[in-house]
Amino acid sequence: MPTHDLIVLGASAGGVEAISKLVAGLPPNLPAAVCVVVHLRPYSESHLAQVLERAGPLPVVPAKQNLPLRQGTIYVAVPDVHLLVHRDGDEAVIRLVHGPRENRSRPAVDPLFRSAALAFGPRVIGVILSGALDDGIAGLWTVKDRGGIAVVQEPDDTAVPSMPASALADVEVDHVAAAEMLGPLLGRLAREPVSPQARAEALTRRRDDDYHQRSERYGEPSRFPCPECGGVLWDTSGQGPVRFRCEVGHAHSAASLAESQTEVVEAAMWAALRALEDKVALSRRRATIARSNGLAVLAEQFAVEEQAAQQHATELRSLLRLGGRTGIRPKAGSNGESVQNPERAAANRPQAERGTGGEIDPVDGALGTDARTI
């Protein structure tokens, strides 16, 4: 009877510390292969494999094309390529793909989780650790939907709680624990046989899996453009978390798309501020010329234009001090909770109500993780 012999881990900001604690608790005879994705800068050298090698008892190797996965070994994503798991008979093989960025990252967590779930279904354990925004949530939902096990780091135990909190809000998570407790938990789960119910449900989903893998365009066209290429985003959410994909393959979660929209708005505001301040300078100069030529009425008109542009520029600059964000908090309901909190978030964990904004990574800078895009 098959066991849960494939573990996939995803993290971004603050994730190296969490993964190190998790790896330290893994048993030396772990009967599962482990694949790890942490957001990395495209052209940096990652030292994550060496860090994790020192942290725990298992061997750690950087991912390589067509490398077979072996139990008791940890495989770490490398910069600027997605780490995927491909099925070759009953064997799992690594595929490295320089494909479109997902959630503004490459490597991204979602492609690993999705490929593992579609290839090995209920044999997969998906783990979401510390990170900003919500990369990996759609992938974790796929793991769970294909009969696998969903595990999340306790948000209060993270450096950046957004990814675990988002997972608790959107996925029916099986286990929540602090990072140092996750290693022993995964060691136990890896030895548990896949339940007959999970195997039966996985068989009924094979047709959907084939469609998912073949389809180049599915879902409904949305009103949103792709922040990466400007193409139409297709709503591919289905019954899972909100998710969009464009014609060429760029994928965005709700939080990733919102963050991109914030950047677009902020860029437009800076451009508008520059134009307004240019107008102030030009109106002032025209007023000065008019006065020197004795054209008092025209000089007054230019002075009014200068004053109006200056007022608009001042208001716009005050908005930009918020970093493009409103600073407005959700309204509270009659019970004091946000009216926008998903029911599943309340059912799973109160910490799921915590924000999913683009927090800056307080650690990991020397390890090649990208604090700018996560």
Is the per-residue pLDDT at 332 higher than 70?
no
Is the per-residue pLDDT at 54 higher than 50?
yes
Average pLDDT (115-123) is 93
pLDDT at site 331: 53
6-212 is a CATH 3.40.50.180 domain: yes
Residue 317: in which H helix or E strand, if any?
Answer: helix 296-320
Residues 358, 220: Cα–Cα separation, whole Å = 27
pLDDT at site 210: 52
Question: Residue 87 pairs with which residues in a beta bridge?
Answer: 92
Residues 84, 110: Cα–Cα separation, whole Å = 10
Is the per-residue pLDDT at 201 higher than 90?
no
pLDDT band per the 50, 70, 90 thresholds, residue 208: low
Estimate to the nearest angstrom the gap between the alpha carbon of 297 and the chain centroid.
Answer: 58
Q: Which is nearest to 256 in space by CA: 138, 362, 335?
A: 138
pLDDT band per the 50, 70, 90 thresholds, residue 220: confident
pLDDT band per the 50, 70, 90 thresholds, residue 66: very high
Estimate to the nearest angstrom the gap between the alpha carbon of 30 and the chain centroid.
Answer: 28
pLDDT at site 141: 94
Supply the pTM of this predicted model.
0.75
- From the list 110, 134, 135, 370, the catalytic residue is 135
Residues 128, 8: Cα–Cα separation, whole Å = 9
Please provide the average confidence, as pLDDT, over all residues in the chain: 84
Is the per-residue pLDDT at 350 higher than 50?
no
Pairing of strands 232-235, 220-225: antiparallel
Who wins on pLDDT, 200 or 84? 84
Residues 195, 75: Cα–Cα separation, whole Å = 26
Question: Residue 150 pairs with which residues in a beta bridge?
Answer: 126
Is the per-residue pLDDT at 204 higher than 80?
no
- From the list 4, 5, 12, 370, the catalytic residue is 12
Residues 55, 39: Cα–Cα separation, whole Å = 19
- Helices first, then strands: H and E counts in the chain: 11, 13
Question: Residue 11 pairs with which residues in a beta bridge?
Answer: 38
Who wins on pLDDT, 232 or 275? 275
pLDDT band per the 50, 70, 90 thresholds, residue 323: low
Is the per-residue pLDDT at 352 higher than 80?
no
Confirm whether 135 is a catalytic residue.
yes
Average pLDDT (228-235) is 88
Is the per-residue pLDDT at 344 higher than 60?
no
**CA-to-CA separations, 19 to 8, 12, 142, 205, 305, in angstroms, rounded:** 11, 10, 22, 31, 58
Average pLDDT (12-34) is 97
Confirm whether 12 is a catalytic residue.
yes
Residues 63, 93: Cα–Cα separation, whole Å = 10
Is the per-residue pLDDT at 309 higher than 80?
yes
